[in-house]
């Protein structure tokens, strides 16, 4: 971990630390070694705390991507207009968050049960 001692450009002013992470092991029977760099907005002092923060961040990212891809098929969609893609991604996020807030898991079964059922959808609000 490295403390930020330089004056960064606008939008990067809150960077407190930089972290360098080495990962190695075996994936699909092949050895790998990778190096990643992270900009941290909190003044972490413990490498284990940084590791947990990075793992938690990617866990949230990966879980959300899985839900959006597997349950909503986002990776199979194609758009010619960036605004259309952004609007659909926004609406998918809204749908997922509404389900979570209603105590339901955003699974294929849940989406199938509420599709085209206006009364059930209104009850979620």
Q: What is the average per-residue pLDDT within 114-122?
A: 81
> How far, CA to CA in Å, does 81 sit from each of 76, 85, 93?
15, 7, 19
pLDDT in tens, 21-35: 899 999 899 999 999
pTM: 0.48
Can you give the pLDDT at residue 117? 82
Distance CA 5, CA 100 (A): 41
Q: What is the average per-residue pLDDT within 104-117?
A: 83
Q: What is the average per-residue pLDDT within 108-116?
A: 83
pLDDT in tens, 43-102: 888 888 888 888 887 766 667 777 888 778 787 888 888 888 889 888 888 888 888 888
Can you give the pLDDT at residue 61? 66
């Amino acid at each position: 971990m490295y403390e930020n001692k330089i004056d960064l450009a606008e939008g990067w002013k809150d960077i407190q630390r930089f972290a360098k992470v080495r990962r190695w092991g075996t994936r699909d029977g092949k050895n790998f070694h990778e190096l990643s760099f992270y900009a941290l907005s909190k003044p972490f002092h413990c490498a284990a705390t940084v590791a947990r923060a990075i793992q938690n961040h990617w866990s949230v990212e990966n879980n959300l991507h899985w839900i959006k891809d597997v349950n909503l098929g986002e990776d199979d969609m194609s758009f010619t207009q960036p605004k259309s893609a952004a609007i659909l991604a926004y609406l998918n996020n809204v749908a997922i968050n509404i389900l979570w807030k209603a105590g339901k898991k955003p699974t294929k079964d849940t989406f199938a049960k509420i599709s085209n059922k206006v009364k059930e959808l209104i009850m979620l609000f």
